[in-house]
């Protein structure tokens, strides 16, 4: 949560329950990230791992023909980070690691060293449409938050001045990534991106197959909540009926608002 400015629950009495559920969901998600390679959904994963866990995880993934290759040191942080923070001299660090078959992680390392984001995205299993979206808004326009751009690119989005009302299934809800809750690892190009929906379904199904049923149910429940995102002067406030938090976003001098609901809520 390195870019989180503050976080509060709608009902403080539920704090221990919510905290425990969130912690369990994030732990399950760490497992799902590498299991997605074992299940053949994608070739590589990119994860921040501390030194002790690298040893422990290496033994486990070895059984699946998977290896872990540290590619850079990063400052210690938690959950989603809009950008990588390099450690200052003397600062504690974790390793950013590529996970995958040995030839795939070698290819990943080469792509990383050559700043080949297209190949990196492909190895991580990100859809082509979303890689193109990422290239335009993240690389070329230097945005750190694509919430507004993915919202106005969505079929059926209702635009009104600086407001946008949009619908999408839980799988494309990445508006809560600041607290680590999401079902895909990339930034979808819009709230109805079919390739992203498929990947989200597959990742959650892997969670179920691995026995994380309770955690997957929790992730689905939270990602199905309506979300209100509003941003001004580089600060975004993201609110659901369960909690709200503030995080850094791109600068705008007028308030921008996105309201999102789950289009498959009554499934």
Where on the chain is the footprint of Zn ion (CB under 5 A)?
Answer: 127, 129-130, 189, 193
Give whichever of 48 and 122 is closer to Zn ion, judged by the CB atom. 122
User: Largest Cα–Cα distance of the chain, in whole Å?
Assistant: 55
Distances (CA, A) of 110 to 75, 83, 106: 22, 20, 6
| Cβ count near 156 (within 10 Å) | 11
Residue 98 or 193 with smaller CB distance to Zn ion: 193
Contact residues for 186 (Cβ-Cβ < 8 A; gap 6+): 121, 124, 126, 127, 130, 131, 134, 196, 199
Which candidate, 105, 35, 116, places its Cα nearest to that of 70? 105
Question: What is the closest distance, in whole angstroms, from the C-beta atom of residue 262 to Zn ion in the complex?
Answer: 18
Nearer to Zn ion, 100 or 127 (CB): 127
Nearer to Zn ion, 22 or 153 (CB): 153
CB of 127 to Zn ion, least distance (A): 5
Count of CB atoms situated within 10 Å of the CB of 115: 9
Q: SS3 sequence, 70-88?
A: EEEEEECCCCCCCCCCCCC
In the complex, minimum distance from the CB of residue 155 to Zn ion, in angstroms, rounded to a whole number: 12
Looking at the Cβ atoms of 156 and 211, the one nearer to Zn ion is: 156
- As measured in angstroms, the least distance from the Cβ of 195 to Zn ion is 5
Q: Print burial letters for 83-100: b (CB count within 10 Å at least 16), e (below 16).
A: eeeeeeeeeebbbbbbbb
How far apart, in whole angstroms, are the C-alpha atoms of residue 181 and residue 24?
11
Nearer to Zn ion, 32 or 130 (CB): 130
Taking the complex as a whole, how short is the minimal distance between the CB of residue 117 and Zn ion, in angstroms?
A: 15
Shortest distance (Å) from residue 137 CB to Zn ion:
12
Sequence length of the chain is 267
């Amino acid at each position: 949560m390195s870019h989180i400015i503050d976080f509060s629950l709608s009902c403080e009495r539920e704090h221990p329950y919510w905290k425990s559920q969130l912690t369990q969901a994030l732990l399950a998600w760490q497992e799902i990230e590498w299991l997605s390679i074992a299940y053949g959904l994608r070739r590589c994963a990119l994860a921040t791992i501390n030194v002790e866990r690298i040893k422990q995880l290496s033994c486990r993934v070895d059984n699946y023909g998977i290896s872990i290759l540290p590619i850079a040191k990063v400052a210690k942080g938690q959950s989603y980070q809009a950008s990588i923070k390099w450690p200052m001299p003397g600062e504690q660090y974790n390793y950013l690691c590529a996970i995958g078959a040995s030839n795939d992680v070698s290819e990943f390392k080469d792509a990383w060293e050559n700043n080949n984001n297209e190949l990196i995205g492909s190895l991580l299993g990100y859809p082509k449409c979303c890689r193109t979206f990422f290239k335009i808004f993240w690389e070329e326009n230097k945005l750190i938050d694509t919430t507004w751009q993915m919202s106005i690119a969505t079929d059926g989005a209702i635009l009104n001045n600086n407001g946008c009302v949009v619908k999408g299934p839980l799988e494309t809800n990445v508006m809560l990534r600041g607290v680590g809750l999401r079902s895909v690892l990339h930034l979808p190009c819009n709230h109805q991106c079919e390739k992203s929906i498929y990947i989200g379904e597959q990742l959650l199904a892997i969670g179920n197959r691995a026995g994380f049923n309770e955690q997957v149910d929790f992730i689905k429940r939270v990602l199905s909540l309506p979300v209100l995102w509003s941003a001004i002067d580089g600060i975004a406030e993201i609110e659901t009926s369960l909690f709200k938090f503030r995080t850094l976003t791109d600068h705008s001098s007028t308030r921008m608002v996105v309201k999102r609901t789950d289009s498959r809520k009554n499934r």
